[in-house]
Chains A and B, each alone.
Chain A
Amino acid sequence: MTSDGATLLTVHGLKRAGIEIPDFELAAGEAMAVLGPSGSGKSLFLRALADLDPNEGDLRLGGEARESMSGPQWRRQVTYVPAESGWWAERVGEHFESWDIAAAWAERLDIPAEAGDWPISRLSTGERQRLALVRAMAQGARVLLLDEPTSGLDQRMTRAVETRLHEFVANGGGLIFVTHDPDQASRLAKRCLRFAKGGKAEEEPCR
């Protein structure tokens, strides 16, 4: 895994009700796993980073302050993908800026190109989860915030998703992901952010 070392995401003084986050910086080509019991604030943390809920703090992307750009501009680059993402149109392809580009990504996660014409109702939970990931990657996110990206997948698909995430990080992306699996945390990341029950988080090396 290559890492060019330049700071990609800076998080200083992040304040959001219910969680307590240490200051940290994420370099380009770096991944951080987020662990902790259910309800300890892991999702609140990712949502705050994506600016989806009101929060305060000095957040920067490549040195540029979050406040200097609009919410949508920030989120196109710092993109949150929940465990169960939403779908607003009838057909799969309508959810992508360009299905032709996205289809190449989807095929590498075992979803055929003709899925673009499928109605959303035809997708399984696992297919939805993989397509939500493709949706965020295909539009060029620089930092991915993934909430249990493989929770609905079997072992083979979990590995396929992990391979894609490895590539994303190796190409200079930043990755912060929530997982319940310590093995997955150490497979994908060297840094771990562990939440305790009350919402206080501490950084530690992954086991």
Chain B
Amino acid sequence: MPLIALDYWDIAVAALLLLVNAGLSIWMQLGLARDTLIAAARMVVQLGIMGLLMKALFSAVSPWLTALFALAMVLFAGREAMARQERRLAGWWGYGVGTTAMLAAAAIVTVFALTTQVQPDPWYNPRYAIPMLGMILGNTMTGVALGLHTLTSTAMRDKAAIEARLALGHPRTEALRHVAAGALRTALMPIVNSMAATGLVALPGMMTGQILSGVDPVEAVKYQILIMFLIAGGTGFGALTAVLAGAARITDGRHRLRLDRLAAKKG
């Protein structure tokens, strides 16, 4: 079955739904109309640019251009992950810890999948590499941001308990154990929940997309399962790296709690 292509009018008609929502928001004074419309406009522009860039990238099939594009995606993800933390590490650490963790986790998992499971030709073929990196990165970003956010906010909240342990001579790994463990649990909760609910409640976007474009549902399901495993792996690695590095940064070599290394609350 061939893909039913959409023309721009189809999209414009769908956008009416959003305008109805915005109208309701104004009528009920929810104050959401402006944010909703700006977000929608951003989405249209960002995806539009992405579509054009990917079209060019896919026809080039250059390893360097693909790597550059992937790096740009990671850098944007790093900014987004930083913006989602209420109390982040001061200075470059705030950006660096999350971004490095995402770069390492997403790169390892994507390259692993491309070279051993999906095996396109060549393995860095951007038609496979970029969408897969995008899916892995999007979820890893959520995990990293949640992990770091929970780490720093719990450390602030439980400062007295952590310092009581440090004052008694417990090493920082002990004193921060429950904080780091809680941060990791929170980071992995979304992917665990979504694996449990997938197929029953939610049909994942990628699988739906493949089915809409005419792929046999069983093949689409196989792809989706592979992607879910990759996402879970990437989120796990990324969150673990970020939380451990963050925990090391909010303490020091003399095993002190260094909440002074967090940036002041924003806003």
Residues of A within 8 A of B (CB): 50-54, 70-77, 79-82, 84-88, 132, 135-136, 139
Residues of B with C-beta under 8 A to A77: 169
Check if B209 is an interface residue, CB within 8 A of chain A.
Answer: no
Could you mark each residue 234-267 of chain B with 1 if its beta carbon is under 8 Å from any beta carbon of chain A, else 0? Answer: 0000000000000000001111111000000000
Would A79 and B178 be within 8 Å (CB), given that A52-B256, A71-B255 are in contact? no
A–B Cβ pairs within 8 angstroms, 19 of them? A52-B256, A53-B256, A71-B166, A71-B254, A72-B255, A75-B169, A76-B169, A82-B163, A84-B160, A85-B160, A86-B160, A86-B161, A86-B163, A86-B164, A87-B161, A88-B161, A88-B164, A88-B178, A139-B169
A-B contact count (CB 8 A): 70
Given A51-B256, A54-B252; 20 other pairs, CB 8 A cutoff? A53-B256, A54-B256, A70-B171, A71-B254, A71-B256, A72-B169, A72-B171, A73-B169, A75-B166, A76-B169, A79-B168, A80-B167, A82-B160, A84-B160, A85-B160, A85-B167, A86-B162, A87-B161, A87-B164, A139-B169
| Chain A proximity of B101: nearest CB distance (Å) | 26
Cα(A82)–Cα(B163), bound, Å: 10
> In the complex the two chains form, is B161's CB within 8 Å of A51's CB?
no
Closest to A74 in B: B169
> Interface size of B by Cβ–Cβ distance < 8 Å?
22
- CB-CB contacts below 8 Å: B1-59 with A: none
A180 to B161, CA, bound (A): 25
A52-B168 in contact given A72-B255, A84-B160, A85-B160 (Cβ < 8 Å): no
Decide: B158 and A86 in contact? CB cutoff 8 A: yes
What are the residues of chain B within 8 A of A79 when measuring CB–CB? 167-169
Q: Is there contact, CB below 8 Å, between A139 and B167?
A: no
- B223 CB → nearest A CB, Å: 45
| A190 to B69 Cα, complex, angstroms | 72
Q: Which residue of A lies closest to B178 (CB)?
A: A88
Does B165 contact A88, Cβ atoms closer than 8 Å? Answer: yes
- Inter-chain CA distance A101–B153, complex, in Å, is 35
